[in-house]
């Protein structure tokens, strides 16, 4: 019976409703397990001294000023970018909506990196959405329950994300290593122009992750004379083991529902790739490769 | 005595074991401490199944396993299989296991947890790229070391609340 269930789950999505139903029932356990941390935070807020609060407030105000200056430029740049895209005849990029979620649990198994966040199907989440924190790409949603969701972090061994080098647009795939502090760029040719310190960002290929979000910074490039590929390690920008608040991205969906009515072959092909069809963990690979 | 006496205690300790299974340490602590987590569920279940084997149902344990699967993000059915197997073995040999010394019980637990961990690594390996590691041995060892304490604690609870 167990074997049947395990096989069913690994090959089909039939068990997803069962999973998310049970998930809704057990989600309070995560909240209880996480309560010491939630309580410490709450108590810390209450006990903070006046000076600390004032200091924090000053810091935040300074940060707001910096960011608003950047966002003013951003508006102008976006307008210019849209104009140029129009000249080229390509579609303008749609803005992404985000939803702030809080971490309520961590999957205890040290061989995998997954967290539970406090937004679920009720908030409109669906499997495959990208998750960010304040510094960069965090992971993707792999399971949605009623009130909570499970997020696979990008350093998990089963996770992979299509990326490009910010400086020159060299494309690659950043796979997790099972180590919280590093990602590895897969199948990078020795001749590829990647050096230490390069910024790595999502390329948007595969349709799962929106393009242009920071993934990390190249930490080391090792070229072995005997190997056809360079070994490139990337340090993720997101604070994977510290962030308590994350952003879930809602990608605006171009109308891809009416597959049959669509006569344009190219678009059809795109949809086939972008449609989230497979299950959870394998998804990351499927979406990426 | 009321035959339903104490069923809630068994359920409560099992839920507590699940809870202990998902509690995580502060981020500032070294990561390797996370590997030292005993298999709380098997500990608690092992106690109940050798003390009051008639109160621990195989199907109930299998269904409990479904909840554990979702909680730990394991493939559905895996923990059901593990818990039901432990219950069955305990139920089959409970007279013998009860007579064993604590050391022998520790040994049995070591084997049970080792088997469970190997099974879950194999099943997880079907659908993901997680590697084999010494984790399976560490978890079994820690579980074994925690058993005497757990045994005393649960025994006190059991006699205090007269679970039959």
How many domains does chain B contain in total?
1
Exposure of A173 in the CB half-sphere (CA atoms within 13 A): 18
Quote the pLDDT of residue A52: 86
Chain B CB contacts of A19 under 8 Å are: 70, 76
Interface residue ranges in chain A relative to chain B, Cβ cutoff 8 Å: 1-6, 9-10, 15, 18-19, 22-23, 25-26, 29-30, 32-33, 37, 105-112, 114, 143, 150, 157-158, 178, 180, 241-242, 281-282
pLDDT of res. A65: 92
- Using DSSP bridges, classify how beta strands A183-189 and A114-117 pair: parallel, antiparallel or unpaired: unpaired
In a domain, residue B65? The reply is yes
Query: Which H helix or E strand runs over A103?
Result: strand A97-106
Alpha-carbon torsion (A96, A105, B130, B59), positive or negative: negative
Location of structure tokens 């690594």: B121
* pLDDT score at B20: 85
pLDDT of B4 reads 56
pLDDT digits (tens, 9 = 90+) for A112-169: 888 889 888 888 888 889 998 888 899 999 888 888 889 999 998 889 999 999 888 8
Q: Are A29 and B15 in contact (CB under 8 A)?
A: yes
Alpha carbon distances (Å) from B112 to A91, A173, B99? 60, 40, 18
What's the CA dihedral at B122, B18, A113, A105 to 10 degrees? 160
With b for 16 or more beta-carbon neighbours within 10 A and e for fewer, the A133-145 pattern comes to: beebbbbbbbbbb
In a domain, B2, yes or no: no
Structure confidence at residue A63 (pLDDT): 92
Q: How far apart are CA A28 and CA A109, in angstroms?
A: 19
DSSP-derived secondary structure letter, A196: T
Q: How far is CA A187 from the centre of its chain?
A: 21
Q: Is residue B25 part of a domain?
A: yes
Q: How far is A212 from chain B (nearest CA, A)?
A: 28
Report which of B105, B97, B94, B64 is spatially closest to residue B81, judged by C-alpha positions.
B64
Question: What's the pLDDT at A279?
Answer: 41
B6 φψ region: left (φ > 0), alpha (ψ -120 to 50), beta (else): left
Q: Quote the DSSP letter at residue A192.
A: S
CA B121 to CA B128: how far, in whole Å? 10
Q: According to the model, what pLDDT value does residue B136 have? A: 78
Please determine, for residue B33, whether its predicted confidence score (pLDDT) is greater than 80. no
- H helix or E strand, kind and range, residue A131: strand A130-132
Task: Confirm whether B61 is domain-assigned.
Answer: yes
Domain boundaries, chain A: 96-252+261-289
Task: Give residues with Cβ within 8 angstroms of A234, minimum separation 6.
Answer: A174, A182, A183, A184, A185, A200, A215, A216, A217, A218, A219
- Is B1 inside a domain boundary? no
Looking at residue B8, what is its pLDDT?
Answer: 81
Sign of CA dihedral B117, A178, A150, A242: positive
- Residue B47 pLDDT more than 70? yes
**B2-39 burial: b if 16+ Cβ within 10 Å, else e:** eeeebeebbeebbbebbebbbbbeeeeeeeeeeeebbb
Are the beta carbons of A202 and A212 closer than 8 angstroms?
yes
Going by pLDDT thresholds of 50, 70 and 90, the confidence category of residue A11 is: low
Helix, coil or strand: residue A63: helix
> Distance (Å) from the C-alpha of residue A188 to the closest C-alpha of chain B?
21
A30/B22 touch (CB, cutoff 8 Å), yes or no: yes
Task: Give me the domain span that covers residue B113.
Answer: 7-161
Question: Do A280 and A143 touch, CB atoms closer than 8 A?
Answer: yes
Question: Residue A287 has what pLDDT?
Answer: 42
Is residue A177 classed exposed, middle or buried when 0-12, 13-18 and 19+ CB atoms within 10 A define those classes?
middle
Calpha distance A206→A224 (Å, rounded): 30
Task: Kindly determine whether residue B130 and residue A112, on different chains, have CB atoms separated by under 8 Å.
Answer: yes
Digit-coded pLDDT (tens) for A272-281? 333 343 344 4
pLDDT in tens, A217-274: 999 998 888 888 888 999 999 888 888 889 898 876 654 444 444 333 333 333 333 3
CATH class in words for A96-252+261-289 = mainly beta
Of B19, B24, B80, the CB nearest to A29: B19
* Interface contact flag, A112 B126, Cβ < 8 Å: no
Confirm if B107 and B144 have CB atoms less than 8 A apart: yes
3-state secondary structure of A98: strand
3-state SS of chain B is: CCCCCCHHHHHHHHHHHHHHHHCCCCCCCCHHHHHHCCCHHHHHHHHHHHHCHHHCCHHHHHHHHHHHHHHHCCCCCHHHHHHHHHHHHHHHHHHHHHHCCHHHHHHHHHHHHHHHHHHHHHHHHHHCCCCCCCHHHHHHHHHHHHHHHHHHHHHHHHHHHCCC
Please tell me the distance from the alpha carbon of residue B72 to that of residue A175, in angstroms, as a whole number. 23
A5 interaction partners in chain B (CB closer than 8 Å)? 75-77, 80
CA distance A37 to chain B (A): 8
3-class DSSP state for residue A23?
helix
């Amino acid at each position: 019976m167990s074997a049947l269930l395990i096989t069913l789950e690994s090959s089909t999505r039939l068990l997803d409703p069962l999973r998310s139903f049970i998930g809704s029932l057990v989600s309070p356990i995560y909240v209880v397990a996480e309560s010491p941390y939630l309580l410490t935070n709450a108590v810390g807020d209450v006990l903070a001294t006046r000076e600390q609060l004032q200091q924090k407030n000053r810091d935040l105000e300074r940060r707001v000023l910096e960011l608003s200056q950047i966002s003013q430029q951003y508006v102008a740049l976006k307008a210019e970018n849209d104009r140029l895209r129009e000249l080229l005849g390509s579609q303008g990029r749609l803005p992404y909506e985000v939803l702030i979620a809080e971490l309520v649990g961590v999957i205890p198994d040290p061989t995998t990196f997954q967290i539970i966040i406090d937004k679920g199907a009720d908030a409109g989440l669906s499997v495959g959405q990208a998750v960010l924190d304040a510094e960069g790409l965090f992971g993707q949603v792999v399971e949605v329950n009623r009130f909570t969701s499970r997020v696979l972090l990008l350093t998990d061994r089963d996770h992979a994300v299509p990326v490009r080098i910010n400086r020159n647009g060299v494309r690659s795939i950043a796979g997790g290593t099972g180590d919280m502090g590093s990602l590895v760029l897969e199948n990078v040719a020795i001749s590829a122009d990647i050096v230490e310190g390069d910024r790595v960002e999502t390329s948007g290929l595969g349709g799962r992750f929106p393009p242009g979000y920071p993934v990390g910074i190249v930490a080391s490039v090792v070229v072995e004379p005997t190997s056809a590929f360079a070994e490139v390690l990337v340090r993720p920008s997101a604070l994977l083991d510290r962030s308590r608040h994350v952003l879930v991205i809602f990608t605006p969906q171009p109308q891809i529902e009416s597959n049959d009515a669509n006569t344009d072959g190219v678009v059809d092909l795109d949809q086939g790739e972008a449609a989230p069809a497979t299950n959870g963990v394998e998804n990351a690979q499927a979406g990426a490769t | 005595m009321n035959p339903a006496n104490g069923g809630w205690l068994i359920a409560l300790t099992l839920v507590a074991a699940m809870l202990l299974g998902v509690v995580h340490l502060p981020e500032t602590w070294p990561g390797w401490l996370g590997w030292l987590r005993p298999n709380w569920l098997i500990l608690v279940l092992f106690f109940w199944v050798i003390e009051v084997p008639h109160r621990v149902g195989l199907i109930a344990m299998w269904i409990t396993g479904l909840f554990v699967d979702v909680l730990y993000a394991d493939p559905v059915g895996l923990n059901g299989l593990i818990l039901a197997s432990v219950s069955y073995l305990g139920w089959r040999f409970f007279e013998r296991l009860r007579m064993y010394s604590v050391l022998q019980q520790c040994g049995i637990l070591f084997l049970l947890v080792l088997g469970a961990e190997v099974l879950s690594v194999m099943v997880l390996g079907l659908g993901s790229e997680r590697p084999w590691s010494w984790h399976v041995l560490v978890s079994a060892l820690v579980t074994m070391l925690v058993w005497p304490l757990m045994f005393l604690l649960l025994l006190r609870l059991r006699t205090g609340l007269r679970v039959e």
